A and B are shown apart, each in its own frame.
Chain A
Amino acid sequence: MIIDLLITVSLVTGGIFGFVGSFGLLKLNDPMSRMHAPTKATTLGVGGVLIGSMAHAWAYEGHASAHELLITLFLLGTAPVTANFLAKVYINQQTKPSDLPGPGACALWATHDKSEHQPPTEQPKA
């Protein structure tokens, strides 16, 4: 009974936060802010579902399940990287160095610093 309640509560919590994450994508009005909703609200959304799944495996299938811990680990490891890649694409395509605060001691932010990636200029043939 109590374990059923725990499973239900965590599933519903997970569902609500998953919904908030998706709703944020619709509601927020600029690309950078839109990235906040899925990276954060979704961690607790997925987390709730995983806690429910672990409690279910423990109570009804009679064994502890560790797969959920792995999913958490991989999620925490990969979500920041995805967000960072999306942010870099946005900075590259939509901003100029003057749109952002200056990077302290350095001249440019890494995405704007294209000096290393320029194709080598062709030498005129003699």
Chain B
Amino acid sequence: MKLLNRLLPHPLLTLMLTVIWLLLVNRFSLNSLLFGFVLGLLIPVATQPYWPNRPKLKRPIKLVPYVALVMWDIVVANFAVARIVLFMPNSKRKPAWVEIPLDIRTPEAIAMLGGTITMTPGTLTADISAEGRSLLVHCLHAPDVDEIRNEIKTRYEARLKEIFG
């Protein structure tokens, strides 16, 4: 079991690299599956120092609805931002900084929340506080700062908290 852990420090990463290799080749064959798997074995070992801990996923299955929700929000975000860019005069637009206090603590969850915020309606992650307890978010148009903070916390952070535990 220990040997298996040494050889396969990140099973999920191995799986992901194999699948990415198959997609790169763009045609399924046993050759590319094997070569992808070899890459999936070697790359995690070679990059081991950058991944000291295995990220813990408490309920990985909940990632699926989360990704679907984010995809949908990205499409909506595109229309919302396009409308602001095209039709709202700069003098009426109210850009603002928002501070989001964080309840999640694991680096993976925070990175994912930051990415989600950047990709969704009119918000962009700019910075994290020195001790990792809150995120600094820039809003393109924020008539009500508290509403945006609440939406991010209930819509994304609560779900990520369930996923990463």
Docked pose: A109 CA to B93 CA in angstroms: 25
Q: Assess the A44–B101 pair: CB atoms within 8 A.
A: no
With beta carbons under 8 angstroms apart, the residue of A23, A33, A44, A76 that contacts B78 is A44
Asked if B36 lies at the interface with its beta carbon under 8 angstroms from chain A, I say: no
| Closest residue on chain A to residue B118 by CB atoms | A80
A124 CB to nearest chain B CB (Å): 30
With beta carbons under 8 angstroms apart, the residue of A67, A80, A107, A109 that contacts B128 is A109
Q: Assess the B98–A101 pair: CB atoms within 8 A.
A: yes
Docked pose: A20 CA to B79 CA in angstroms: 10
Instruction: Mark out the residues of chain B between 88 and 117 whose CB falls within 8 Å of any chain A CB in the assembled complex.
Output: 90, 93, 95, 97-99, 101, 114-115
Docked pose: A23 CA to B129 CA in angstroms: 32
- Contact-residue bracket for chain B: 35 or more
Docked pose: A41 CA to B134 CA in angstroms: 27
Interface string of A79-103 (1 = CB under 8 A from B): 1110110011011000000001111
Q: Assess the A103–B99 pair: CB atoms within 8 A.
A: yes
Docked pose: A36 CA to B115 CA in angstroms: 13
Docked pose: A116 CA to B40 CA in angstroms: 35
Asked if B61 lies at the interface with its beta carbon under 8 angstroms from chain A, I say: no
- The B interface is mostly helix, strand or loop, or mixed, namely mixed
Asked if B140 lies at the interface with its beta carbon under 8 angstroms from chain A, I say: yes
Docked pose: A76 CA to B118 CA in angstroms: 10
Asked if A113 lies at the interface with its beta carbon under 8 angstroms from chain B, I say: yes
Docked pose: A35 CA to B99 CA in angstroms: 18
Docked pose: A79 CA to B115 CA in angstroms: 8
B89 CB to nearest chain A CB (Å): 9
Docked pose: A42 CA to B23 CA in angstroms: 23
A39 CB to nearest chain B CB (Å): 6
Q: Assess the A28–B125 pair: CB atoms within 8 A.
A: no
Asked if A121 lies at the interface with its beta carbon under 8 angstroms from chain B, I say: no
Q: Assess the A91–B20 pair: CB atoms within 8 A.
A: no
With beta carbons under 8 angstroms apart, the residue of B23, B93, B115 that contacts A69 is B23
Asked if A37 lies at the interface with its beta carbon under 8 angstroms from chain B, I say: yes
B17 CB to nearest chain A CB (Å): 12
* A36 contacts across to B, CB distance below 8 A: 81, 122, 124, 138, 140
A69 CB to nearest chain B CB (Å): 6
Binding site for B on A (CB under 8 A): 17, 20, 23-24, 27-30, 32-33, 35-37, 39-41, 43-44, 63, 65-67, 69-70, 73, 76-77, 79-81, 83-84, 87-88, 90-91, 100-113
Q: List 18 A-B contacts (CB under 8 A).
A: A17-B78, A23-B85, A24-B81, A37-B85, A40-B78, A41-B81, A43-B74, A44-B78, A65-B26, A66-B22, A80-B119, A83-B118, A87-B124, A87-B138, A102-B99, A103-B133, A106-B134, A112-B130
